[in-house]
Amino acid sequence: MTITHNHPILKPRRTELRKNQTPQEVLLWARIRKNQLGFKFKRQHSIGPYILDFYSPEKRLAIEIDGSQHLDNKEYDKERDNFLLGHEIKTLRFWNNEINNNIEGVLQKISSELNSPSS
């Protein structure tokens, strides 16, 4: 089944999210953009009805940074992750405090996934 990437109807929301990045998104983007981990990432990329924080098309890997609002949205996140898995896209999730306090550990987890033979 084909899914739509960057559907035009979601463009205003993607643009808004790019302009209003969280400090954690800015920090992680500075470390993963321009193939710094050996693979290209896109930010605020939509797949189907969902907008992903970061996405590596080559590795079919989504990276989501979660703040406290995700404590109340666990069902939505589960639905979103299941949708993506159904389209063979794996999601790695990190909390804001992981980005703030252990960016090197986060980068190591991302790098391990990118270089895993199964991904």
pTM strictly above 0.95: no
Instruction: Note the pLDDT tens digit of each residue in 56-88.
Output: 999 999 999 987 665 567 788 889 999 999 999
Give the pLDDT confidence score for residue 68 in this predicted structure. 64
Residues in the chain: 119
Nearest to 45 by CA among 86, 66, 17: 17
3-class SS of residue 2: coil
Q: Domains in the chain, start-ordered, CATH in brackets?
A: 8-113 (3.40.960.10)
